[in-house]
Amino acid sequence: MRSFATKLFWALLLVLALVAGACGNDDGGTTEPAPVATATATHAPTEAPTPEATPEAEPTPEPTPEATSAPTPVPTPEATPEPEPTQEPTPEATPAPEPETHPSGLDVAAINAAAADWMENARIPGMVLAIAQGGDEPWTFAWGVSDLTTEEPITPGDYVRIGSVTKPVTTVAVLSMVDEGLVDLDTPVTAYLGDDWYGKYENGPHITLRHLMGHTTGFVEYAFDPGFFVLGSARLGVPIAPEEIIRFTTNYGPVAEFETEYNYSTAGHVIAGMIIEAVTGNPADVEIRSRVLAPLGLENTYLPPNELPPVPVIDSYNAGLLYSAFTSLTNVPDEARHNFMGTDYLSTDEYPQEFLQTAGWTGGGIETLIGDVPTMFRGLFTGGLISDESLAEMTSAGVNPGYGLGIGIDDIGGLLGYSHGGGTPAFRTRALYIPELDLTLAATANVLPPNPDMNEFIDALLPIVMESWGLAG
């Protein structure tokens, strides 16, 4: 039987491999061709019914945009030879012809080419994209498949996890409470959660919401930690409570200088969620919906585990050393193994979802349609959800000049941009808003980690969009 040392070995390799944690951050401050879906882009995202409350090798021809406007803890397996991943068949691609002038005004051929190039380089089975200017409904696109076994085309009507793009949403909910005088950014958390919330953590008595959301608590990023990964691999069918996450984090002790050093940690926004609940007396998802999602008209966005989409998120795939760690630490169903474009992947859909769906919570748990993301992300800055003073607090650089409170601050060719990345097994997301252009882009791929990362795709896409809509120069 594999020893704990073997488990720890693979988990340590995971730490070196990941560029984003289970809840994801890429803000500095969380072979075989890809099958394609064929259709035309439209505005409106697919409407989903309101869910019931519950107690997360050759290049192909250019793809075409898609239309729309468990169980008990898993025992450590006996050491047996691992079966070879199934080599995925090469699907036939039949791109639909593009109209000479797309109704969006976007250069769809160039967008397709940028998507095909990045997906081939990063070996991505499927990806969705949404682009919007101003308050217009986003134009949505999709390429590839949502499931390597069935080769079902991915669509913008498929639910995905956006990981740490949840953090700025939680931040705005907290800042709306600041505006109401319910909480204060610089009051110690003990005022809201009591003196025992931090256990023996040496800086616990002094930690504030500003420290939590600006990543200056000194907390470890639990999603990078091998101990947390071993913990999760043994209980994938069991949800993890926020209190368990905080106990794990505070027992770890500081890994960075308190207050003067930036160290990204999802635990800060999980604690912010606990404060929301303690102060309002309501579940965090209820407050986030009433303070952020409902005012922005977002009916297809959910924060598990208390609320879930009407259908589960699509299948997604772990790669690299994340694949190796999962195959070492868990009892892997044979049908979970895939080989795509010469890369071994492990399907998360073959595993229980309870742990994966709760490990991020208010720090990285949102499940949504890609068409909701630009409306949500832009609305954090333009939707009148918080006062000008609170918005200034959120978007002012802290210890890290590229990060404020729950938001990345970018210089994009001389233009100010607000952004956040998100990574959760096994999705990768990037959202970007450029105020001067009133332009928002968001994309999600069903692989973690992609290499090159999602930033490269957004960087390639931005000049195409700006040129198409006359925003360049």
pLDDT at 177 > cutoff 90: yes
Burial 427-453 (b: 16+ CB within 10 A, else e): bbbbbbbbeebbbbbbbbbbbbbbeeb
Say how many residues make up the chain: 473
Pairing relationship of beta strands 415-424 and 447-448 according to DSSP bridges: unpaired
Name the packing angle between helices 226-233 and 320-329 (round to 10°): 50
266-321: pLDDT as tens digits? 999 999 999 999 999 999 999 999 999 999 999 999 999 999 999 999 999 999 87
pLDDT at 82 > cutoff 60: no
pLDDT class of 66 with cuts at 50, 70, 90: very low
- Domains (range + CATH), the chain: 4-468 (3.40.710.10)
328-380: pLDDT as tens digits? 888 898 899 999 999 999 999 999 999 999 999 999 999 999 999 999 999 99
pTM of the model: 0.84
